[in-house]
Amino acid sequence: MSISISDLVTVRARHPEAIAEAAARRVRRPLIGDSGRLMIVAADHPARGALAVGDRGLAMANRFDLLERLCRALSRPGVDGVLATADILEDLLLLGALDDKVAVGSMNRGGLAGAAFELDDRFTGHRPQDLARLRFDAGKLLLRIDYQDPGSLTTLEATARAIDEMAAHQLPVFVEPFISRRAGGKVTNDLSAEAVTRSIAIASGLGGTSAYTWLKVPVTDDPDEMAAVMETSTLPAVLLGGDSGADQDEVYEKWRKALRLPTVQGLVVGRSLLYPAQGTVETAVDTAVGLL
Protein backbone atom coordinates (compact mmCIF):
# COMPACT_ATOMS: atom_id res chain seq x y z
CA MET A 1 0.00 0.00 0.00
CA SER A 2 1.18 3.55 -0.73
CA ILE A 3 -0.15 4.81 2.61
CA SER A 4 -1.90 3.20 5.56
CA ILE A 5 -5.65 3.31 6.07
CA SER A 6 -5.13 5.47 9.16
CA ASP A 7 -3.36 8.10 7.01
CA LEU A 8 -6.25 8.50 4.56
CA VAL A 9 -7.96 11.32 6.41
CA THR A 10 -4.73 13.30 6.72
CA VAL A 11 -3.95 12.96 3.02
CA ARG A 12 -7.50 13.87 2.01
CA ALA A 13 -7.50 16.97 4.25
CA ARG A 14 -4.05 18.29 3.34
CA HIS A 15 -3.29 16.92 -0.11
CA PRO A 16 -6.48 16.39 -2.14
CA GLU A 17 -4.39 16.56 -5.31
CA ALA A 18 -2.89 13.20 -4.29
CA ILE A 19 -5.95 11.43 -5.70
CA ALA A 20 -5.38 12.71 -9.24
CA GLU A 21 -1.67 11.97 -8.90
CA ALA A 22 -2.38 8.40 -7.81
CA ALA A 23 -4.81 7.94 -10.70
CA ALA A 24 -2.21 9.20 -13.18
CA ARG A 25 0.45 6.75 -12.08
CA ARG A 26 -1.81 3.72 -11.58
CA VAL A 27 -0.70 0.67 -13.56
CA ARG A 28 -3.59 -0.30 -15.83
CA ARG A 29 -4.49 -3.63 -17.45
CA PRO A 30 -6.96 -4.88 -20.06
CA LEU A 31 -10.53 -5.47 -18.96
CA ILE A 32 -10.20 -9.18 -19.75
CA GLY A 33 -6.89 -10.63 -18.59
CA ASP A 34 -5.01 -13.80 -19.42
CA SER A 35 -7.61 -16.01 -17.75
CA GLY A 36 -10.26 -14.90 -20.23
CA ARG A 37 -12.66 -14.47 -17.30
CA LEU A 38 -13.60 -11.55 -15.07
CA MET A 39 -13.90 -11.53 -11.27
CA ILE A 40 -14.96 -8.17 -9.82
CA VAL A 41 -15.66 -7.38 -6.18
CA ALA A 42 -18.57 -4.93 -5.75
CA ALA A 43 -18.65 -2.28 -3.02
CA ASP A 44 -20.99 0.44 -4.29
CA HIS A 45 -23.87 -0.35 -1.89
CA PRO A 46 -23.20 2.33 0.79
CA ALA A 47 -23.82 5.29 -1.55
CA ARG A 48 -27.41 4.10 -1.98
CA GLY A 49 -27.83 3.90 1.80
CA ALA A 50 -27.83 0.10 1.55
CA LEU A 51 -25.58 -0.81 4.46
CA ALA A 52 -27.10 -4.10 5.57
CA VAL A 53 -25.68 -7.57 5.13
CA GLY A 54 -28.13 -10.25 6.18
CA ASP A 55 -29.54 -9.28 9.56
CA ARG A 56 -26.67 -6.86 10.27
CA GLY A 57 -28.28 -3.50 9.52
CA LEU A 58 -25.11 -1.38 9.45
CA ALA A 59 -22.53 -3.99 8.50
CA MET A 60 -21.05 -1.86 5.71
CA ALA A 61 -21.12 1.42 7.64
CA ASN A 62 -17.57 1.24 8.99
CA ARG A 63 -15.49 2.55 6.10
CA PHE A 64 -12.15 1.52 7.54
CA ASP A 65 -13.37 -2.03 8.02
CA LEU A 66 -14.80 -2.10 4.49
CA LEU A 67 -11.53 -0.86 2.99
CA GLU A 68 -9.56 -3.47 4.92
CA ARG A 69 -11.87 -6.19 3.60
CA LEU A 70 -11.57 -4.84 0.06
CA CYS A 71 -7.79 -4.80 0.20
CA ARG A 72 -7.79 -8.40 1.41
CA ALA A 73 -10.15 -9.42 -1.41
CA LEU A 74 -8.13 -7.59 -4.06
CA SER A 75 -4.94 -9.29 -2.91
CA ARG A 76 -6.28 -12.76 -3.71
CA PRO A 77 -5.20 -14.55 -6.92
CA GLY A 78 -7.80 -14.40 -9.64
CA VAL A 79 -9.51 -11.20 -8.47
CA ASP A 80 -9.49 -8.79 -11.40
CA GLY A 81 -10.81 -5.61 -9.84
CA VAL A 82 -13.43 -3.68 -7.93
CA LEU A 83 -16.71 -1.86 -8.58
CA ALA A 84 -17.32 1.15 -6.32
CA THR A 85 -18.28 4.80 -6.05
CA ALA A 86 -15.81 7.67 -6.26
CA ASP A 87 -15.08 7.89 -2.53
CA ILE A 88 -14.18 4.20 -2.21
CA LEU A 89 -12.22 3.98 -5.48
CA GLU A 90 -10.23 7.05 -4.50
CA ASP A 91 -9.43 5.60 -1.07
CA LEU A 92 -8.21 2.45 -2.83
CA LEU A 93 -6.14 4.59 -5.22
CA LEU A 94 -4.42 6.26 -2.27
CA LEU A 95 -3.82 2.87 -0.68
CA GLY A 96 -2.15 1.63 -3.85
CA ALA A 97 -4.63 -1.23 -4.12
CA LEU A 98 -5.73 -0.62 -7.72
CA ASP A 99 -2.47 -1.25 -9.58
CA ASP A 100 -2.98 -3.88 -12.28
CA LYS A 101 -6.67 -4.08 -11.30
CA VAL A 102 -9.84 -3.19 -13.17
CA ALA A 103 -11.48 -0.09 -11.65
CA VAL A 104 -15.21 0.15 -12.39
CA GLY A 105 -17.00 3.35 -11.38
CA SER A 106 -20.61 3.28 -10.19
CA MET A 107 -22.63 5.88 -12.08
CA ASN A 108 -26.22 6.21 -10.83
CA ARG A 109 -26.77 6.18 -7.08
CA GLY A 110 -29.73 8.58 -6.79
CA GLY A 111 -32.33 5.86 -6.24
CA LEU A 112 -31.79 5.62 -2.52
CA ALA A 113 -32.90 2.40 -0.86
CA GLY A 114 -36.40 2.79 0.55
CA ALA A 115 -36.98 6.29 -0.82
CA ALA A 116 -40.22 7.36 -2.54
CA PHE A 117 -38.03 8.32 -5.53
CA GLU A 118 -36.05 5.06 -5.56
CA LEU A 119 -36.96 4.18 -9.15
CA ASP A 120 -36.19 7.67 -10.46
CA ASP A 121 -32.57 6.62 -10.33
CA ARG A 122 -30.57 9.74 -11.18
CA PHE A 123 -26.93 9.67 -12.26
CA THR A 124 -25.35 11.13 -9.15
CA GLY A 125 -22.10 9.13 -9.21
CA HIS A 126 -19.33 8.90 -11.79
CA ARG A 127 -19.90 10.65 -15.11
CA PRO A 128 -18.23 9.25 -18.25
CA GLN A 129 -15.82 12.18 -18.28
CA ASP A 130 -14.84 11.45 -14.67
CA LEU A 131 -14.03 7.83 -15.50
CA ALA A 132 -11.95 8.94 -18.49
CA ARG A 133 -10.14 11.67 -16.49
CA LEU A 134 -9.22 9.29 -13.68
CA ARG A 135 -8.16 6.57 -16.14
CA PHE A 136 -10.67 4.11 -14.73
CA ASP A 137 -11.55 1.14 -16.88
CA ALA A 138 -15.35 0.89 -17.04
CA GLY A 139 -18.61 2.10 -15.56
CA LYS A 140 -21.67 0.42 -14.12
CA LEU A 141 -25.28 1.55 -13.99
CA LEU A 142 -28.44 0.10 -12.49
CA LEU A 143 -31.63 0.04 -14.56
CA ARG A 144 -34.73 -0.89 -12.59
CA ILE A 145 -37.92 -0.73 -14.65
CA ASP A 146 -41.33 -0.59 -13.01
CA TYR A 147 -44.12 -0.47 -15.58
CA GLN A 148 -46.29 1.37 -13.02
CA ASP A 149 -43.73 4.05 -12.07
CA PRO A 150 -43.15 7.07 -14.35
CA GLY A 151 -39.71 7.50 -12.78
CA SER A 152 -38.53 4.47 -14.72
CA LEU A 153 -38.85 6.39 -17.99
CA THR A 154 -36.51 9.07 -16.69
CA THR A 155 -33.98 6.39 -15.75
CA LEU A 156 -34.35 4.69 -19.15
CA GLU A 157 -33.60 7.90 -21.02
CA ALA A 158 -30.68 8.82 -18.77
CA THR A 159 -29.30 5.30 -19.15
CA ALA A 160 -29.39 5.53 -22.94
CA ARG A 161 -27.50 8.81 -22.92
CA ALA A 162 -24.93 7.45 -20.45
CA ILE A 163 -24.34 4.47 -22.75
CA ASP A 164 -23.78 6.88 -25.65
CA GLU A 165 -21.30 8.96 -23.64
CA MET A 166 -19.40 5.92 -22.44
CA ALA A 167 -19.11 4.67 -26.02
CA ALA A 168 -17.80 8.08 -27.09
CA HIS A 169 -14.99 7.61 -24.55
CA GLN A 170 -14.55 3.96 -25.67
CA LEU A 171 -15.25 2.84 -22.11
CA PRO A 172 -17.20 -0.36 -21.35
CA VAL A 173 -20.38 0.08 -19.32
CA PHE A 174 -22.01 -2.70 -17.31
CA VAL A 175 -25.81 -2.33 -17.40
CA GLU A 176 -27.65 -4.10 -14.57
CA PRO A 177 -31.32 -4.38 -15.64
CA PHE A 178 -34.32 -5.54 -13.62
CA ILE A 179 -38.05 -5.59 -13.97
CA SER A 180 -39.10 -4.23 -10.59
CA ARG A 181 -42.26 -3.47 -8.67
CA ARG A 182 -43.15 -1.71 -5.46
CA ALA A 183 -45.10 -3.64 -2.84
CA GLY A 184 -45.78 -2.35 0.65
CA GLY A 185 -43.46 0.58 0.00
CA LYS A 186 -40.52 -1.68 -0.87
CA VAL A 187 -39.02 -2.18 -4.32
CA THR A 188 -38.45 -5.82 -5.25
CA ASN A 189 -36.85 -7.24 -8.38
CA ASP A 190 -38.59 -9.95 -10.38
CA LEU A 191 -36.12 -12.82 -10.94
CA SER A 192 -38.46 -15.01 -12.97
CA ALA A 193 -37.09 -16.16 -16.31
CA GLU A 194 -39.67 -14.09 -18.19
CA ALA A 195 -38.84 -10.89 -16.32
CA VAL A 196 -35.06 -11.29 -16.62
CA THR A 197 -35.46 -12.07 -20.33
CA ARG A 198 -37.49 -8.90 -20.85
CA SER A 199 -35.03 -6.76 -18.89
CA ILE A 200 -32.11 -8.05 -20.97
CA ALA A 201 -33.96 -7.33 -24.22
CA ILE A 202 -34.71 -3.76 -23.11
CA ALA A 203 -31.21 -3.03 -21.84
CA SER A 204 -29.50 -4.44 -24.94
CA GLY A 205 -31.28 -1.99 -27.23
CA LEU A 206 -30.53 1.22 -25.34
CA GLY A 207 -28.33 3.93 -26.81
CA GLY A 208 -27.02 4.69 -30.26
CA THR A 209 -24.50 1.84 -30.11
CA SER A 210 -24.07 -1.31 -28.05
CA ALA A 211 -20.38 -1.67 -28.93
CA TYR A 212 -19.23 -1.00 -25.35
CA THR A 213 -22.26 -2.35 -23.49
CA TRP A 214 -21.99 -5.31 -21.13
CA LEU A 215 -24.82 -6.83 -19.14
CA LYS A 216 -24.75 -7.52 -15.40
CA VAL A 217 -27.50 -10.04 -14.75
CA PRO A 218 -28.89 -12.10 -11.87
CA VAL A 219 -29.32 -15.83 -11.88
CA THR A 220 -33.03 -16.55 -12.27
CA ASP A 221 -35.16 -18.14 -9.56
CA ASP A 222 -34.93 -21.39 -11.54
CA PRO A 223 -31.26 -21.66 -12.60
CA ASP A 224 -32.14 -24.29 -15.19
CA GLU A 225 -33.85 -21.54 -17.19
CA MET A 226 -30.70 -19.39 -17.46
CA ALA A 227 -29.56 -20.91 -20.76
CA ALA A 228 -32.71 -19.77 -22.55
CA VAL A 229 -32.63 -16.39 -20.77
CA MET A 230 -29.06 -15.65 -21.86
CA GLU A 231 -29.96 -16.36 -25.49
CA THR A 232 -31.85 -13.03 -25.45
CA SER A 233 -28.70 -11.05 -26.30
CA THR A 234 -25.24 -11.46 -27.83
CA LEU A 235 -23.79 -8.85 -25.47
CA PRO A 236 -21.12 -10.11 -23.07
CA ALA A 237 -22.44 -10.55 -19.55
CA VAL A 238 -21.33 -11.04 -15.96
CA LEU A 239 -23.37 -12.58 -13.17
CA LEU A 240 -24.20 -10.44 -10.17
CA GLY A 241 -24.07 -11.67 -6.64
CA GLY A 242 -26.21 -10.55 -3.73
CA ASP A 243 -26.57 -10.56 0.01
CA SER A 244 -25.35 -13.53 2.00
CA GLY A 245 -27.88 -16.35 1.89
CA ALA A 246 -28.66 -19.10 4.31
CA ASP A 247 -27.35 -21.67 1.84
CA GLN A 248 -24.26 -20.17 0.22
CA ASP A 249 -23.34 -23.55 -1.32
CA GLU A 250 -26.60 -23.46 -3.27
CA VAL A 251 -25.76 -19.96 -4.52
CA TYR A 252 -22.31 -21.12 -5.64
CA GLU A 253 -23.85 -24.01 -7.55
CA LYS A 254 -26.21 -21.62 -9.37
CA TRP A 255 -23.25 -19.47 -10.36
CA ARG A 256 -21.25 -22.51 -11.47
CA LYS A 257 -23.99 -23.62 -13.88
CA ALA A 258 -24.58 -20.15 -15.31
CA LEU A 259 -20.85 -19.54 -15.84
CA ARG A 260 -20.84 -22.32 -18.45
CA LEU A 261 -23.08 -20.29 -20.77
CA PRO A 262 -21.35 -18.76 -23.82
CA THR A 263 -22.14 -15.08 -23.19
CA VAL A 264 -21.30 -15.19 -19.47
CA GLN A 265 -17.78 -13.86 -18.94
CA GLY A 266 -17.47 -13.73 -15.18
CA LEU A 267 -18.80 -12.64 -11.79
CA VAL A 268 -19.41 -9.36 -9.97
CA VAL A 269 -20.01 -10.16 -6.31
CA GLY A 270 -19.93 -7.96 -3.24
CA ARG A 271 -21.47 -8.46 0.17
CA SER A 272 -21.47 -12.25 0.16
CA LEU A 273 -17.69 -12.22 -0.32
CA LEU A 274 -16.75 -9.20 1.75
CA TYR A 275 -19.01 -10.19 4.66
CA PRO A 276 -19.37 -13.96 4.35
CA ALA A 277 -21.87 -15.72 6.57
CA GLN A 278 -19.19 -18.29 7.34
CA GLY A 279 -15.42 -18.27 7.08
CA THR A 280 -13.07 -15.48 6.06
CA VAL A 281 -13.01 -12.99 3.21
CA GLU A 282 -10.12 -14.91 1.72
CA THR A 283 -11.95 -18.24 1.79
CA ALA A 284 -15.12 -16.77 0.26
CA VAL A 285 -13.18 -14.99 -2.50
CA ASP A 286 -11.08 -18.05 -3.32
CA THR A 287 -14.22 -20.18 -3.57
CA ALA A 288 -15.83 -17.72 -5.98
CA VAL A 289 -12.66 -17.51 -8.07
CA GLY A 290 -12.61 -21.29 -8.22
CA LEU A 291 -16.00 -21.26 -9.95
CA LEU A 292 -14.42 -19.48 -12.90
For 161-176, the pLDDT digits (tens) are: 999 999 999 999 999 9
pTM comes to 0.95
The verdict on residue 190 lying in a domain is: yes
Domains contained in the chain, number:
1
The verdict on residue 23 lying in a domain is: no
Q: How many residues does the chain have?
A: 292
Which pLDDT band, with edges at 50, 70 and 90, does 150 fall under? confident
Percent of the chain residues past pLDDT 90, beyond the cut = 87
Which pLDDT band, with edges at 50, 70 and 90, does 1 fall under? very low
The verdict on residue 244 lying in a domain is: yes
Can you tell me the distance from the alpha carbon of 149 to that of 113, in angstroms, rounded to the nearest whole number?
A: 16
- pLDDT in the model for residue 278: 87
The verdict on residue 7 lying in a domain is: no
* Higher pLDDT among residues 176 and 241, named by residue: 176
The verdict on residue 111 lying in a domain is: yes
The verdict on residue 5 lying in a domain is: no
The verdict on residue 2 lying in a domain is: no
SS3 264: strand
Can you tell me the distance from the alpha carbon of 212 to that of 174, in angstroms, rounded to the nearest whole number?
A: 9
The verdict on residue 44 lying in a domain is: yes
Can you tell me the distance from the alpha carbon of 77 to that of 236, in angstroms, rounded to the nearest whole number?
A: 23
Supply the range of the domain harboring residue 257.
37-291
* Higher pLDDT among residues 248 and 42, named by residue: 42
Q: Which amino acid is at 146?
A: D
Quick: pLDDT tens for 107-149.
999 999 999 999 999 999 999 999 999 999 999 999 999 999 9
Whether residue 242 has pLDDT greater than 70: no
**Domain holding 170: CATH number?**
3.20.20.70
Whether residue 229 has pLDDT greater than 60: yes
